[in-house]
Amino acid sequence: MIDSEDERALVEAAQENPSQFGALYERHVDRVYAFVLLRVRDRDVAEDLTADVFHKALANLRRFEWRGAPFGAWLIRIAANAVADHHRRPSRERNAPEALEALEAPEAPEFEDLARLFRYVDELPDVQRTVIVERFAHERSLREVAAQLGKTEGAIKQIQLRALRALRERISPTAHKTRGGDPKEGGHA
């Protein structure tokens, strides 16, 4: 997924000139966020810790040496430390919202898969992406999104369904063919 030679050039450019760090950030922000999210199951906390991880990485970029260990692994190590620090902080309450409890289940995705899923959301057609972001990232109701986009709730529901199918197609191209039907696809049988 990430070309290692290409990545190495990006790292060296950023070490030479920190203003080049943005390209590395774009490549890795979803991975770090997903890694943290699976361990804290709280969007606000995950955002805070992700920000900490990248600020630390930027400040210590010159210390990173390319010795076989990829840059991504280095970031995840920083993230793991940030998560461990977070869990050690007694004052911080961890009340995972209900919606994220699914991430606790035994069949919860790996962070790399989750990161890919988030990345694919970016690649959806505009309207689908907007609906997904509003419904999930901003936690808006169907009605709110419908009002926002000037469409009916039913239309929003259909757009969301198309987006979910597209995402499933991207993330596991064979899944819906090898498995049975899914009631959510509506009207199958």
Partner 1 sequence: MPDRAWTLDALEAALAGLPRPEFRARLRRDLERRARMTTMVDVSTITQTATPVLRVRDAAQAIDFYTRAFGAREVMRFSAGGSIPHARLVIGNATIVLADEGPAHGYPGPDQLGGSPVSIRLDVDDPDAVVDRAIEAGATMVLPVTDHFYGERTGTVLDPFGYRWSVTKVIEPMGVEEMHRRMLSAGGPPPDAREWIPEGYRTLTPYLVVQNAPAVLDFAKVVFGAQETMRSVGSAGGVHAEMRIGDSMVMVGGGAPELSWRGDSMATALHMYVPDVDAVFARAVGAGATVTHEPREMEYGDRECGFVDPGGNTWYVATSHGATYVPAGLGTVTPFLHPLRADAVIAFLTRVLGATTVNRYATPDGVVHHATVRIGDSAIEMGDAHGPHQPMPTMFYVYVPDVNAVYTRALEAGGTSLASPADQPYGARVAAVTDPFGNQWYLAQPNRVDKH
Summarize as ranges the residues that interact with partner 1 (CB under 8 A). 18-19, 21-22, 25-26, 29-30, 33-34, 37, 41, 43, 46-47, 50-51, 54-55, 58-63, 97, 99-100, 102-103, 105, 107, 109-110, 113-114, 117-118, 121, 132-133, 135-138, 161, 164-165, 167-168, 171-172, 174-175, 179, 182, 184-185
Least distance to partner 1, CB of residue 180, Å: 10
- Which residues lie closer than 8 Å to 150 by C-beta, 6 or more apart? none
> Which residue from 78, 72, 107, 92 is spatially nearest to 1, judged by alpha carbons?
72
Q: Which is nearer to partner 1, 73 or 137 (CB)?
A: 137
Sign of CA dihedral 102, 107, 112, 117: negative
Query: Which residues fall within 8 angstroms of residue 176, CB to CB, at 6 or more apart?
Result: 165, 168, 169, 182
In the complex, minimum distance from the CB of residue 35 to partner 1, in angstroms, rounded to a whole number: 11
Query: Minimum distance from CB of 21 to partner 1 (Å)?
Result: 5
Please report how close the Cβ of residue 150 comes to partner 1 at its closest, in angstroms: 21
